[in-house]
Amino acid sequence: MYLGHFSLREAPFSITPDTDFFFAHEGAQASLNMLLVALRSGEGFLKVVGELGCGKTILCRQLLKTLQGECLTAYIPNPNMSPDGLLLALATELKLPLSAPLQRHQIMAALNQCLLEQAAQGRRVVVCIDEAQAIPVRTVESLRLLSNLETEKRKLLQLVLLGQPDLDDKLARPEIRQLLQRITFSEYLGPMQAQRVSGYLAHRLQHAALSPSTDSDVFTPAAARAIAKASGGVPRLINILAHKCLMLAFGEDRHRVSAAHVRLAVRDTPGVQVRKPWWRVLSPLEWLRRDRSVGAIQGGRE
C-alpha cells in the first residue's frame, strides 16, 4: 500500500524471518558469535533461549546461511512430534535414502552412515531445532541418542536448540538431566537496547529501498524513542508498530513518522501496553487523598 510513497521495493517490517533484514544488535551478534565459534570448535550440543518475538528464528536462519557450504545442515522448525517422527524428520531434512517399511533401527543406521561419510570428507553435520520448548519429554531421549553418535576424535552430529524460556524448565526436569549435562554452551537472546531501535528502523528501510539514495530517515527521533519504549525492544513488536506507523503516515500523505503516529499505532496493537500519564492512573479516592494532602500543606504555609 505505501511502498511507492516511501520509495520501497518491498515491505520493510514484515514479521517473517528474512535473513536479508538480519540486524546484528548486541544480543543477536553475541548469540551468533557463540554458535559459530562453538560449532567450528566441534562442540556437540548448544542452546539459545530467547523471549517471545526476540528473533530466535531469524538468528537460526542466519546461522544456517553463514554455515552454507561449510557443513551439511538441517532445520527442524516444529519438533512437537514422537521420537520416531523426529528421527524421520531429520532423515528427510538430510535427504537420506529410505525404503519402506520404515523402522527405527533402519533410520538410525542410515543416519549413522551419512554422518560417517560426511566426517570422512571433513564436513560437519549441524542440526538446528527451533521452538525446542515444544519437544515432548519422551522425544528428548531421541536427542540424547543422537548426541551419542561420535568417533573417538569428534562428534558426528552437532545439535543447536533454540527455544523460549520454557525450554530451560523442561531441561531441568530430573528425568532428562542427562541431556542438560551435554549442553556445553548456552546463550540468552533478549530484547534489543532502546538506543539501537533507531538504527534498526533505518537498517530495515535501507534494505527495502528501491535505490541506495532512498531516504531511510523516515522515523523522527521522537518516533523511534516512542517505538522503543512501547515495544520494550522486542523486534516483532517493533516491526508491527513500524508497519502501522508507515500506513498512518501514508494515509496523511506525510513522508515522516512522528510520535503521534506511534501513539495511534500503540492503541491499535494488542500486546502493547498503553502507558497512561500518572495523573490518569490515580483512582478518585487517591485523587481525594492527594487534594487533602495538598490542602493541608498549603494551610500550614498560611
**Domain ranges, ordered by start, for the chain:** 24-189, 195-302
Q: Note the pLDDT tens digit of each residue in 66-97.
A: 999 889 999 999 999 998 899 999 999 999 88
The pLDDT confidence band at residue 233, using thresholds 50, 70 and 90, is very high
* pLDDT beyond 70 at 204: yes
Output the pLDDT for position 155. Answer: 82
Q: Note the pLDDT tens digit of each residue in 137-189.
A: 888 888 877 777 776 677 888 999 999 999 999 888 888 877 888 888 999 99
pTM as predicted: 0.84
* pLDDT beyond 90 at 289: no
The pLDDT confidence band at residue 194, using thresholds 50, 70 and 90, is very high
Contact 253, 242 (CB under 8 A): no
Residues in the chain: 302
Output the pLDDT for position 267. Answer: 92
Is omega for the bond preceding 101 within 30 degrees of 0, making it cis? Answer: yes
Q: Does domain 195-302 have CATH number 1.10.8?
A: yes
The pLDDT confidence band at residue 293, using thresholds 50, 70 and 90, is low
More confident residue, 58 or 275: 58
**What is the rounded average pLDDT of the residues 37-66?**
93
**What is the rounded average pLDDT of the residues 272-295?**
53
Contact 166, 49 (CB under 8 A): no
**What is the rounded average pLDDT of the residues 118-131?**
92
Contact 245, 238 (CB under 8 A): no
Q: What is the DSSP string of the chain?
A: --TTTTTBSS-TT-SS--GGG----HHHHHHHHHHHHHHHTT--EEEEEE-TTSSHHHHHHHHHHHHBTTEEEEEES---S-HHHHHHHHHHHTT----SSP-HHHHHHHHHHHHHHHHHTT-EEEEEESSGGGS-HHHHHHHHHHHT-B-SSSBS-EEEEEE-THHHHHHTSGGGHHHHHH--EEEEE-PPPGGGHHHHHHHHHHHHBSSTTS----B-HHHHHHHHHHHTT-HHHHHHHHHHHHHHHHHTT-SSB-HHHHHHHHHT-TTS-----HHHHS-HHHHHHHHHHHHHHHHHH-
Strands 158-163 and 45-50: what pairing? Answer: parallel
Average pLDDT of the residues of the chain:
87
Q: Which fold has domain 24-189?
A: Rossmann fold (3.40.50)
